[in-house]
Structure 1
Amino acid sequence: MIVLPGNKKNIVAVILLFLLYLSLIDCIHFNGGSIRWAPIDPYDNSSFVRITITQSYSWSFPTIKCANDVPITTSGRSGENDNLTCVVDCGSDGGYSSKPINILTDCISSSSSLGMMTSERKSNITLSAGAHFSIAYQGSAWRALGSPAKSGLDWSIVCSIDLRKRSDGFINTPPVATVVSPQYVIVNRTTQIKIPTSDANAGDDVRCRWSVYQQGYRRRRREDQNEIDMYYKRDLIDDEIVQLRRRRRETKGCDDDDCKSRCKKDCKCSCNICKGTTCSGDKCKPSEDQYYCPSTATTTKTTKITTTGLSTTSVSTTSETPGTGFI
């Protein structure tokens, strides 16, 4: 959650964590946080204005050590220091990019039972009057989210700084919102998240609003496009498979190797090999338990006549040869 200022009205902007599918390792040690700022003297009329930037972060404990200079004081994480970088309107950052603030904070509380540790640090910086820009703490490999779960997601915590004077003549002090990070919600279920807020400027209108997508910065839509491309390619593959199956059902010619030795499935009934079988129609269509058309049944009748004196005895024997061809 991030706090942003407004010129005439104070607005609390709830910025979603922007998730991108770029890495394959879950960030199980970092739980998010907030960045906020406030002018040291809101009535300062000089060419340069001093402000305080406050960073508050939540970490997994004891994975991350409760100490100063979190997280680099934890063993194996000495290279994890970074800066809050300008991401929006950097041409009017009042000189911030030449002297950025790092993301190191100091432990202020920890709980073994909850497995959580909170760190915070306040940093003072001097900027040109009238500066307005946004800074962010960004990283990759956020914990797996969604259904089905997707891991290796990018995240971004953003803070907008605006030193332009309000219509009533002084620099706005942004409202402060307090919410535990992360917040868990169930897929396809409406969830209410209460966000307590406070404002140093009495009478200001405090609201929540959704963040707005910006091309090239918040890149969630790229993932959606990849999903569209994937389904498109899958459809093409399915079409090719259908075509292959259709060719397999074509009638086989009499010169086909399968139709020379036996009247097999899909051989033409006009082939010599199919004569005298149960093949009917255009091609051989055997039953489910046969793979070729069996021969038709034949009947052999043998008559034996025996004559003795005045009488004649006739004995007839009939035999039937059924078709064969069971698998």
Structure 2
Amino acid sequence: METLLRGRRREQEELDRLLRDVRAGQSRVLVLRGEAGTGKTALLEYLAETAAGERVARAAGVESETEIAYSGLQQLCAPLLPYLDRLPEPQRQALATGFGLAGGDPPDTLIVGLAVLGLFAEAGAEQPLVCVVDDAQWLDRMSEVILTFVARRLDAESVALVFGARSPGHEQILGGLPELLVEGLSDADARALLDSVLPDRVDARVRDRIVAETRGNPLALLELPRDLSPAELAFGFGGSGPAPLAGRVEDEFGRRIAALPGETRTVLLTAAVEPVGDVPLLWRALDRLGVGMHAAGPAETAGLVEIGTRVRFRHPLVRSAAWRSAPRAELRRVHAALADVTDPAQEPDRRAWHRAHAAVG
């Protein structure tokens, strides 16, 4: 079923062209740039949904995990590891070492880059491969370097490599690659989107003020009016100055998280700190913390998170709000629980990272 994104026909048509090219045997690279909430994640979801008949590999940068080398790359390449044996021995060894699958000295960056390029090519030779990387500004440095290297060398491998990156402020990330700027909605589309969530009829001047203050940002239009009465909306969202909307939207998510029961907040914090979205691992950690599965219900009801085969936050800013608002002692407790349930043989780096963050000092 095709996803309808209001006011995004131009962007959807560009992604459709990209997918047609990949299906025809070409490779394509594209970076979607825009401020938080403009719809980059929704467009990446549209691409993944449209490419459902192809092989889709996904990853997302997480702010709290930027210091773990190769963590983003490992997340993206994990479903492609069955092709590892097809690579030359030096590349196979370098990638296995970088991902913690084998021991050895830190691998040469060039060889890791060539290994990932080869892995993508092997997968794309059997079936067009669509790689989707959201929140690229939070990738660890080594993953960003390797993926930029690979993106500049893709040619005719039937591979698409599509990123979402926050802008302004992160323009140096993935620099020099083809870009598509994702801006706020037009006034007409913004008004229509706002009307779909307003609780009651609101004076046209108030509505226009909200559109102006949010600069057509879809996430802000959907989230900032939530739970406000028409009288409260009349005062706007604190002025139409240049202050970033991301902070105001994150504050709104933080307010909604703070209103949840304590155990539910623990569920959200544990899910935020565990960036892969591994549901069995999440439940094991919560069991260590004495929190049952039922505690996730209020967060799901509030539309902040979905827990199915994987954990999916309403928006990356929900994850950020859960993480930033947690008391330090609670954050250490959650890291300790995640370290306890992380396999030291399969994920030694991630386990060590959790243990380090669980320590005082």
**Which structure has the larger Rg over C-alpha atoms?**
1
Length-normalised TM-score, structure 1? 0.22
Between structures 1 and 2, the one with greater strand share: 1
TM-score (norm 2): 0.21
